[in-house]
Amino acid sequence: MTDEEAYDVIVMGTGLKECILSGLLAVAKKKVLHIDRNDFYGGESASLNLKSLKQNLDGMTDEEARKWCTENEKEGLKLGRFRDYNIDLCPKLVMANGNLVKMLIHSKVTRYLDFNVVDGSFIYQKKQEELHEVPTNPKAVWASSLVGMMQKYRFKEFLQWVIAVDPNDPKTWKGKDLKAQPMSEIYTYWKCGEAIEEVCGHAVGLYPNDNYKSDPKQTLTFIQRLQLYYTSLLAYDGNSPYIYPLYGLGGLPEGFSRLAAVYGGTYMLRTPVQEIMYNEGKVQGIKYISPDTKEVCTAYCKQLIGDPSYFQGTDKVKFTGYIARRICILNGMPEFKGKEAGSVNSCQVILPTTQTGHSSNIYICILGNPLQCAPKGMYVCVMQTRVGGNLPEDAQHEDVMAHTEKVLDVAFRKVKGVCVQEWISYRKTYTPTDPKKRFGEQVFIPSSMDATTHFANATKQVMNIYHSMTGTPVDLSAKPEDLNEEA
């Protein structure tokens, strides 16, 4: 075994979680080998141009996809230049004051990226069949038709209390026991109606369903989520708490990959893994096929990170369901209640489970030209949710597609009038089994990306894995206001 073949950490897959960990570990002076079987960065978090999307979802060859794009640039759908699209396979927006921003600044990945503020956040109301803007200030609360007049006063009082809560000082809890009382009781105390609970729980707290209301362990977490939303709004004085990297979400894994390379990390794309090696119950390394020589090579390591796809068919991961996805190209924005046409070029839309009857929220992310995701006048719209129905891992493709189309129909109806092209697909999700045993093996497997349009779950998992691998927490002391400053 030579020095060139020995690494502290080998990372398999260039999804966002894997790339963040690779970058953070390289900054911590770990010797990292990072490989991916694909010829692009990002894995399920990749951003693809229109030609690559046709290859990825329609199974076209490069030549076929290029011909399709060329024809549509000249006539037909008039989609514009395929290179002007950056379409996220798993779109997510970045909370301006969240932990991911602090990781970006601490690691100096911001030197490779630029961010802009997302124009707005909206919530669907079935009764009126309308998309309402989530109120972001007192004026917006009074103008909103989401809640009645009396509820607006209660909404204001409730939010003022939330902002004043110090999780470490029970004196600020106003007689409530936030460690023992569920949010259902807190809502009742403040006389919050269903509309307030819906906005706070789904559009601000970003919970995928209402289960949090009955769990006392979620009460403080919920309040901290509302406080994070508030401080993120203040960060850029915008109409939403979200920011987004120019040219697509795929810039994040690429940025962390560059960071790891700067600190001595080795990267190899188009590199299939043939075998993961173990010695006395601990990971020893991998055997992979060299992209240059096509020979089987060996690399040794002390710790291994891999996305779930590298462990399918083993007892190290378990199937957790399907995520339905509908990607649409729009030639205009859907109608938003109370917003002037043309005032929104990017946004998040949440269709709460309470409004659709589906078991999870449905999320829509719409991104336009100001974020360099589509040609001028065009928009990329991606809607996602968990499929539901307890479909097994070996379910027939036709059955899963039928569920996917059905569950996303309510969301598609809101953009159907401006949709000029669409793709319907789904992806399987997995999570690691028996984390304690995996820790003993020094194998760390992040779960598949979820259907939400935020990074709360992803960053929490990255922080937990990093702490387990290094024994030290991720440095979150960075100031979010330094995001676009030169590193």
pLDDT in tens, 400-442: 999 999 999 999 999 999 999 999 999 999 999 988 888 899 9
394 has a pLDDT exceeding 90: yes
> What's the mean pLDDT in 172-179?
93
**What integer pLDDT is reported at residue 306 of this predicted model?**
96
Q: Which CATH number fits domain 135-236: 1.10.405.10, 3.40.50.300, 1.10.645.10, 3.20.20.70?
A: 1.10.405.10
Q: Does the pLDDT of residue 321 top 60, yes or no?
A: yes
CA distances 261 to 25, 35, 254, 264, 454, Å, are: 11, 12, 10, 5, 27
Whether the pLDDT of residue 475 is over 80: the answer is: yes
pLDDT at 468 over 60: yes
Residue 480 has a pLDDT of 55
Sorting pLDDT into bands at 50, 70 and 90, what band is 304? very high
Cβ–Cβ under 8 Å, residues 232 and 93: no
The token pair at 394 is: 């070996």
**What pLDDT, in 10s, does the model give residues 15-54?**
999 999 998 999 899 999 999 998 888 888 899 999 999 9
| Span 82-92, average pLDDT | 93
The answer to whether 9 and 33 have CB atoms below 8 angstroms apart is: yes
Least confident of 362-366, 446-450, 477-481: 477-481
Residue 76 has pLDDT above 70, yes or no: no
Report residue 320's pLDDT band, with 50, 70 and 90 as the boundaries: very high
* Mean pLDDT taken over the chain: 90
Q: Which residue has the tokens 């597609």?
A: 401
Task: Tell me what pLDDT residue 94 has.
Answer: 93
Q: How many whole angstroms separate alpha carbon 273 and alpha carbon 306?
A: 11
pLDDT in tens, 440-451: 999 999 999 998
pLDDT at 179 over 50: yes
Mean pLDDT of 336-362: 88
C-alpha count within 13 angstroms, C-beta hemisphere, residue 40: 15
Which one has a higher pLDDT value, 438 or 368?
368
With cut-offs at 50, 70 and 90, classify the pLDDT of residue 205: very high
Which residue ranges make up each domain of the chain?
3-76+246-317+432-475, 135-236
pLDDT tens-digit profile of 226-244? 999 999 998 887 678 999 9
- pLDDT category at 392 given cuts 50, 70, 90 is very high
Quick one: pLDDT at residue 75? 59
Q: What is the pLDDT at residue 408?
A: 96
Name the 3-class secondary structure at 423: strand
Whole-number Å distance between alpha carbons of 365 and 260: 29
At residue 2, the pLDDT reads 44
Predicted confidence band of residue 486 (pLDDT cuts 50, 70, 90): very low
- pLDDT reading at 266 higher than 60: yes
Q: 399 — alpha (psi -120 to 50), left (phi > 0) or beta?
A: alpha
Fold of 3-76+246-317+432-475: FAD/NAD(P)-binding domain (3.50.50)
What is the b/e burial string over 451-480, where b = at least 16 CB atoms within 10 angstroms of the residue's CB?
bbbbbbebbebbbebbeebeeeebeeebeb
341 confidence band (pLDDT: 50, 70, 90): low
Least-confidence region, from 69-73, 396-400, 441-445? 69-73
Distance between start and end Cα atoms, the chain: 38
> What is the 8-class DSSP label of residue 202?
I
Q: What is the pLDDT of residue 151?
A: 86
The two structure tokens encoding residue 64: 């076929």
Q: Sign (positive/negative) of CA torsion 41, 43, 47, 53?
A: positive
Question: Is the model's pLDDT at 1 over the cut of 50?
Answer: no
State the average pLDDT over residues 246-265: 88
Q: Is 486 exposed, middle or buried (0-12, 13-18, 19+ CB in 10 A)?
A: exposed
What's the pLDDT at 4? 54
